[in-house]
Chain A
Amino acid sequence: MTPSVQTWLDRAWRRFVFRWRRTQLDRELAEEIESHRLLKEAENSRAGLAPQAARELSNRQMGNIEMAKEDCRDMWSFLKLERLIHDLRFAARLFGRNPGFTAIAVLSLAIGIGGNAAMFTLVDKLLVRPLPYFEPDRLVRITGIFPRAAVSFFQQQSRTMDVAAVSTGTGYNLTGQGEAIRIVGSATSANLLSVLGAPVARGRAFEPGEDSPGRDSVVIISDALWKNKFDGDPAILGRVITVNGMNRQIVGVMPPGFSFPSSNVEAWLPLRLDPSNFLESWGTGWVPFVSRIRPGANVQQAQAEVRALVAQFKKTFPYPMARDWNASSTAIPLQDDLVGDIRGKLLILFSSVGMVLLIACTNVASLLLSRATTRRKEIALRVALGAGRLRIVRQLLTESVLLALIGGGLGIVLGMSALSIFKSVLPASTPGLAAAAIDWRVAGTIAALALLTGLAFGIAPALSASQIDLAGSIRTGSQRSTSTSWTRLRNFLIGAEVALTVLLVVSAGLLMRSLYTLSEVHPGFEPQRILTVRISPNQSSCTERAACIALYGHILDSARGIAGVKDTAIANTLPLDANQPYLAVDIEGHPKSADYPAPLVWSGAISPGYIRMMHIPLLAGRDFTEADGANSAGVLLVTPSTARLLWPGENPIGKHIRRAGEPQWRTVVGVVGDVRQYSLAQDRPAWVPGAMYMPYAQSAREDGQIYAAMTLLVKGSADSGRLGHEIRSLAEEQDPNVPVSQVQALEEVVSGSIADFRSTIRVFLSFAGAAILLAAIGIYGLVSYWVTQRTFEIGVRVAIGAGRPRIVSMVLAQGLRVALYGVGAGILAALAMTRFLASLLYGVTATDPATFVAVIALVLAVTITATAFPAWRAARIDPVKSLRVD
C-alpha cells in the first residue's frame, strides 16, 4: 500500500495548509473535544449522577486529552523541518556570538570551495566534456605534419578514416573593408567541416573540389569576425573580400563558439591542392591532419593504417626524406590532442586547489573539535535536559553543514574571480576556454561538495562532543576532560595540514626560483629603448624583389629622419615573437641522404644595422654592410651554436650554405652571438638545430621570394609615446592597404614572453599563501587549545617553581612537535610530487635543496610565530587563579 506520488503530494499540500491555519485548527479541536466532553457529561447525568459528579467523571473519562492535542499539533506541522529550522537558528545565533571563529571557518571554506569550483569548471569544460561535434569520439588527429601532396594520398588510400587537413592559424591581410587589418586564418581541405560534423550557421561549407586551384576563391568567416568587422550584416553571404590580395567570396559564417583548430581563428580558407605546383605540394605549408574514423573501424585499425600509409607515402617523396620521418605518427583522439599541452598544467592546478580545500577542511574540523570540547558543559546541560545523543549530533552537524553552505555560497562568488585568474594561466587560444563559466551543473556540484565537506569536517567533532560523561562534566564544568583519541586526531589533522602546506610552498618556491632565473637570463640582445612595429604587405606585392627592397629602404630612411631616433633597422622576425621563419638548407660538404636530410635552420632577414642596434655581439668575421646588396655575392651570419653543430672544430668563416633548392651558395662572413629566439628558456626547439641571418636584400623564403612582412625597429632617446605614434603613422602612410600592427616596446615583448609563467606563479603563490595562513591558524588553534586545557597543570608547575622560560619552551615544543611531523611528511610528499612540476621549472631541479631548506625554515618560523602567542599567555598564567578555576 505504498501511496502514489499524487497522494503523497496531496498530503504534503494539506499538511502545509494545516500548518498555516494551525491556530484556528487548535481552537477548533479544543471546541470539538469540549463538545465531546459535554456529550459525555450529559450521558453521565442521564445515568443519574449529580451535575458535579457527572462533570468530574466526564473529565476523567476523556483521559490524557492534552497528549492527544499534542499529537494532533504534530500532525499539522512539518516537525522535522521545524526542528531543522530551530537548529539552524540556534547555529546562526552561535555563529553571531563567535564572529572570529565564524569568519575564519567560512573564509577557509570559501577559499577551498571557490578554488575547486573554478577548477572543476575548467577540468569539466576542457578535459571531460566531449567536443561539440558529431560523434566526437570518432575524431582523431594524425600526429606529425604532412606536405600538401599527402592530403589527396591519405584521402584516397585510407580505408578506415575520412581525412581532412587543417593548418594552424596564421596571419592574413584583410583589405578593402575600411582600415586594413590582420586576421588569423586557417587553410583547410574542402571536407573539414563534414569530417568534424560541424554545421555552418549561415551559408554553406566548402564544396568538394573547392580546394583545387581556380575554384578556391571562397572563404568562411567566424561569428566574431562577422559581428565585429561586418556589423553582423545579414546580407554577408556572397560578399567579396580581399584576403592577402586575393578576392574571395564569403560563402559561410560559423556559429559562435566554433573554435577549431583554435579559438583565435577568424576565417577558414580552402587549402590549395595543386599537384602540378611542386613547391606547394612538397615544399611549403605543411599541414596537420584530422580525421573521422569510419563506421565499423576502430582506433587501433586507424593507428595501424596511419603507420602503413606514412611508410608508403614516404617513398613517394621526390627528394630524400629522413629515414625516421613521421615514424612515430599515429592516430590519437582529437580531444587529447587539443588539450594535450594544458592537461598537465590543469591537473597540477586541480590537485593544488584540492589540497587547499583539504587544508581548509582540516582547519575547520580542528577548530570545531576544540570548540566542541569547550562546549562540553553546554552540551552536557542539554543532555541532562533530555536531548538524545542523536539530537546533539544532529545539532552539531547542522552547525557544520551551515558553515559549509555559507562557505560554499561565498565560494561560488570567489570561484568566479578565481576562474578568470586560472583562465589567464592557460593559453587563450585553447578551444572552449572562453566559454568556460560556472553554470548550474557546477553550482550543483559545489552545493553537494559543500554539504559533503560540512559532514566530513563535522562528523568527528560531533561524535567527540556527544560522548559526554554527563555527571563529570556538569559537576566540574571541566574543560580538560577530552579523550586522548580525539586529541590525537587533532594533532594528526594539523600535522597533515602542515605537510600539505610544505608541499604547496615548495612548489611555489621552485616556481619562484624558476621565474627569478628566467628573468635573470640574458636574452642575447638588449631590448632597452627599442620600439617595434610590424608592417605586413601582401606577399604578392613582393614578387618583384626590388619593389619591397625599395619600400623598406624608403621606410628606413624616413624613420631615420624622425627627431629623437638614434638608430633604425628591419627584421623579418623578432626574438620571442610568434613568427618563427625557418628554411631547409644544404650545407657544403654534407651530401643529403635519408640519414642526413636537409637540416632546418632558423633564418633571419635583417638590415645591416640590426646586429649593432640589438647589441648582439659580433664574435668573429664581419657584420653585414650596405654593400651586401641584392646584386652582390650571397653572405650569411651564423651563431656559434650553429657553427659548432655544422662544422665542429672548424672555422665557420668562409663555409657555404644555401637554401635547399637554390643554385648559388651563400658564404658565412661572420659569427654573432646566440639569441633566445623562441622563448627566454630556450633558444630554439630541437627540430631547428641552427640559426643564420641573411641581409634583407638577399633574403629568401622557402619559395625563394623576399619577405614581404617585416618589423621596423627604432631606437630612440626621445619620449617613446610620441615616437611610437610617429613611426606608426609613418608606416601607415606608405600604403593604406598594408596592415600595420600596434607599436610595441621590445622590453615589453621580453617581459610579455613570460607573462603566462608569471600568472602561473601568481596562482601558486596565492595557493601557498592561503595554505600557510590556514596552517598558521590551525597551529595557533591547536596550541592555544592545549594551553587552555592545561591551565591547571601549568599553574601547578609554576607553583612548584617552573620559570617562565620553562613554560614557554614547553608550549613551543608542543607546537613544534606537530609541525615537525608535518614538515617531515611534507618533504617526503614534495620529493615524490614536485617532479610533476618539472615541465614548468627552469634552471632549478624539482628537488632543489636550497628551496627545500628555505621552505622548512619558513614553515617552522610560521609555526613558532603561531605558537608564540599562546606560549606568552601560558607564561602569564597566575598559579593562584588557575588552581582556583575549577
Chain B
Amino acid sequence: MGRRPNPSELLPGTLDLLILRTLAPGPMHGYGIAHRLQQVSDDVLQVGESSLYPALQRLLLNGWVKAEWGASENNRRARYYTLTAVGRKQLVSEREEFTRMIGAIQKVLDTA
C-alpha cells in the first residue's frame, strides 16, 4: 500500500481550504466530503477520517461552516455541513493566499 499524500501534511490550512471549496456548491456530510475530495483529485488526495473530523470541528468553531442533521443516502441520520457567509469570504481570501503561496513556491522551484 503506497503512501497517499494527506492534505494536512501539505501546507498548513490546506485541508480547511479544500473542505471549504468542496462545500461551496452545497451542503454535504463528512463521508460525502471525503468521497468528493478523493474523486475530484483522481484518488491523489485521500483524507483520513482522523483528520477530517477535527478539521470540520475547527471550521465549526471558527463559524465558517454550520452543521445540520439530515437523512443520509442509506436513511440514517447524517450531519450535513453548509458554508456560512463568513466561510464563503474565508474561502475567497484563503484561496488567494494559497494561489500566492503556490506561485511563490513554483517560482522558487523554477529559478533557484
Give the interface of A toward B (CB within 8 A).
1, 7, 10-11, 14-15, 18, 28-29, 31-33, 35-36, 38-40, 42, 61-65, 67-69, 71-72, 75-76
Contacts and interface: CB of A to CB of B under 8 A. Distances in A.
Given A1-B93, A40-B31, A68 B77 contact: no
Interface of B is mostly: helix
A75 B78 contact: no
24 contacts: A7-B63, A10-B63, A11-B63, A15-B61, A18-B61, A32-B53, A32-B78, A35-B76, A35-B78, A36-B29, A38-B74, A38-B76, A39-B73, A39-B78, A63-B50, A64-B50, A65-B53, A68-B49, A68-B51, A68-B52, A68-B54, A71-B50, A71-B57, A75-B58
Interface string B42-62: 000000111111100110111
Q: Which 3 A-B pairs have the closest CB atoms?
A: A68-B50, A71-B54, A39-B31
Interface in B72-101: 72-74, 76-79, 93, 97
A7 B93 CA distance: 15
B30 interface: yes
A36 B58 CA distance: 18
A470 B90 CA distance: 49
A39 B97 CA distance: 34
A28 B69 CA distance: 10
A51 to B, nearest CB: 14
A482 B79 CA distance: 58
B61 A75 contact: yes
B25 to A, nearest CB: 19
B79 A67 contact: no
A33 B49 contact: yes
A65 B50 contact: yes
Nearest to A72: B57
B76 to A, nearest CB: 5
A11 B61 contact: yes
Contacts of B78: 32, 35-36, 39
A40 B48 CA distance: 12
Candidate in A35, A40, A65 with the most chain B CB atoms within 10 angstroms: A35
Task: Categorize the interface residue count of chain B.
Answer: 20 to 34
A29 B73 CA distance: 19
Given A39-B31, A62-B49, 12 more contacts: A1-B97, A7-B63, A11-B61, A14-B60, A15-B61, A18-B61, A32-B30, A32-B53, A39-B78, A42-B74, A61-B49, A71-B50
Contacts of B49: 33, 36, 61-63, 65, 68
Nearest to B13: A1
Contacts of B60: 14
Contacts of A35: 29, 31, 72, 76-79
A32 B79 contact: yes
Contacts of B93: 1
Contacts of A38: 74, 76
Contacts of A33: 30, 49, 53
Given A36-B31, A76-B57, A28 B73 contact: no
Nearest to B48: A63
A43 to B, nearest CB: 8
A38 B31 CA distance: 10
A411 B77 CA distance: 59
A7 B86 CA distance: 10
Nearest to A69: B53
B39 to A, nearest CB: 12
Nearest to A75: B57
Contacts of A62: 49-50
A65 B31 CA distance: 14
Contacts of A42: 74
Contacts of B74: 38-39, 42
Contacts of A28: 79
A18 B62 CA distance: 12
B61 A67 contact: no
A258 B55 CA distance: 65
A38 B63 CA distance: 28
B54 A75 contact: yes
A29 B50 CA distance: 12
Contacts of B30: 32-33, 36
A68 B58 contact: no
Contacts of B54: 68, 71-72, 75
Contact of A39 (B48, B53, B72): B72
A689 to B, nearest CB: 85
Nearest to A42: B74
Contacts of A29: 53, 57
Nearest to B33: A36
Given A36-B49, A65-B49, A72-B54, A31 B63 contact: no
A38 B51 CA distance: 18
A10 to B, nearest CB: 6
A14 B77 contact: no
Contacts of B73: 39
B101 to A, nearest CB: 12
A767 B34 CA distance: 72
B76 A68 contact: no
Given A15-B61, A36-B30, A72 B72 contact: no
A68 B77 CA distance: 20
B51 to A, nearest CB: 7
A7 B34 CA distance: 28
